[in-house]
Amino acid sequence: MQTANTQRDNVSGLAAHFECRPEFLFGNENVPHVIDASTVRERTIADLKVFHIPDVFAGRDEVFIGFGIPNAYLVCPDGQGGYQKFAGKSLRRAPSVIEATRDFVQSGILLRFKNLPPHAAEKLRAAMKVHHGNKYWTCVNANLRVMEDAGFSAGKRKLSSIYFPEAMLAYLLENELKFEGQRIELQWIRTTPMSVERHAAKIMKAELWTFCRHAERSLQPAAKKHKLLGRVLAFTSGKMDAREAKNKTVKREVAPALPLDLPYETDIAIKVSRTSAAGTLLRQVWAGSHAFFEGTQERIKSEDYLTETLQPFPQANPSFVTRLKKGVLFSRPVVYAIRHFLAHRYTDVGVHSERDVHNMVRTHSEAAPNKYNVVLTTRRIILARISVGAKLIDWILSKHVLMSGYAKDVIFAGELWKDAEGTFWLSPNSGTYQPTVAQLEAAAAYLRKVFPHLRVEILREIAA
């Protein structure tokens, strides 16, 4: 169960306030708490995205393993007030080395080792020296050999038997990491704007390109002598570079954190939708997780605020477009079929506080839109992010009727977002359910009672 103490543990040692929410890893594996540190500045050095360690961590005694694109590395204190890292090269093409970080390492996914005893860093430094200069098939395996020799273990499998980042991430998600037999808490931190799942997919792609690049380098001498081969290599190299440079991201704002020590309500049970196997594959194509977040609590009764249920497509004389939506695009069979792929089942992610919920919701701005569609039923509060990836897919997969699944107890539908000041805004923007202004005001009053420490305001006018 998530408590105020857990929240304090989540933020301790971090250099700034970061949002935190569940994310997917490799399909339907769920990471319950991912610190979203993507607001830190990413710099580009020699085609690698890097970040400044003090932008994420407040102290100088952190131990973490990082997964950039494409390299994995292990960081620990160097014993002189700085950080050192152990980095290997894949395909045994160069020796593994101990390097001074100068406080910069690759951006990506970090696994932070918490509650380590002070001598753990000493043992890691000693193990790094043993493996310095050795060649290994993968950088992940090189780092895991260092960890194993330093006294780390997990589950029944030897860490040194793991070779690839996706295998390591999945294994450590399922098995407790231990140091000298004592459980180590792993904190997942993301410094890239990409989701954990998207970044992991990029890592796997980078592994494939690594083989291609090595083949290209081995052919370079011959390409200088044969014009046709040179043109082929120039073309394929250009294609790779264009694909890697295509996507640009916008840095977004983060609303201020709520105080730690207020008497927050701590009874909000949250679960997240999980796709079917086919839905997971499709999600890789549309480049985003259209998850439904459902919250429930028993403290406040919705019927004390909203007494009428809403019907989808309530127009007496619907337009042709509305008839098309109701009868074809979002008919009951179509909605049920989409939900079979999109929300095949749900995963419980624990009981949370108001502060947790505030921290899970992304901050919205015009530069980085992060609005959510919201559906209230008599017992559930359902959220789905509107802008995820492709606009057409977003429009389809965040529809209110898709979220409700034609539930008979819908009492409100609209939009919700958190602004840069931390205020939640509620609007009645739902062409499907069309709530009244009175229902909007009642829904806001209900949410204020469920979340008494959150500021909830209403926007009566819907932008054209």
| Number of neighbours of residue 217 by Cβ within 10 angstroms | 11
Cα–Cα distance measured from residue 390 to residue 367, given in angstroms and rounded to the nearest whole number: 17
Which has the closest alpha carbon to 287: 384, 177, 198? Answer: 198
Share of the chain above pLDDT 70, in %: 83
* Domain residue ranges of the chain, discontinuous segments joined by +: 4-190, 268-458
pLDDT recorded at residue 3: 45
pLDDT of residue 396 exceeding 80 = no
Separation in Å, CA 359 to CA 155, 217, 336: 32, 46, 31
Separation in Å, CA 341 to CA 9, 282, 315, 346, 399: 36, 9, 29, 12, 15
Spatial CB neighbours of 122, under 8 Å, sequence gap ≥ 6: 79
The DSSP annotation for 144-184 comes to HHHHHHHTEEETTB-GGG--SHHHHHHHHHHS-EEETTEEE
Q: Give the start-end residues of each E strand in 275-325.
A: 293-296
The DSSP annotation for 214-244 comes to HHHHHHHHHHHH-HHHHHHHHHHHHHHHHHH
pLDDT recorded at residue 389: 60
Q: Would you state the structure tokens that stand for residue 54, as one six-digit string?
A: 């003090």
Residue 458 burial (10 A CB sphere; 0-12, 13-18, 19+): middle
Q: Would you state the structure tokens that stand for residue 408, as one six-digit string?
A: 């008979």
pLDDT of residue 283 exceeding 80 = no
The predicted model gives 379-391 an average pLDDT of 84
Digit-coded pLDDT (tens) for 215-265: 555 545 554 555 554 554 454 444 444 444 444 556 678 999 999 889 999
Q: Please tell me what DSSP assigns to residue 13.
A: T
Q: What is the mean pLDDT of the chain?
A: 85
Please compute Rg for the chain using Cα positions: 25
Cα–Cα distance measured from residue 386 to residue 229, given in angstroms and rounded to the nearest whole number: 47
Q: Would you state the structure tokens that stand for residue 142, as one six-digit string?
A: 């090189």
Q: Which SS3 state, helix, strand or coil, does residue 376 take?
A: strand
The predicted model gives 377-382 an average pLDDT of 98
The predicted model gives 395-422 an average pLDDT of 91
Q: Please tell me what DSSP assigns to residue 91.
A: G
Contact 203, 69 (CB under 8 A): yes
Digit-coded pLDDT (tens) for 61-111: 999 999 998 789 999 999 999 999 999 887 767 888 999 999 999 999 999
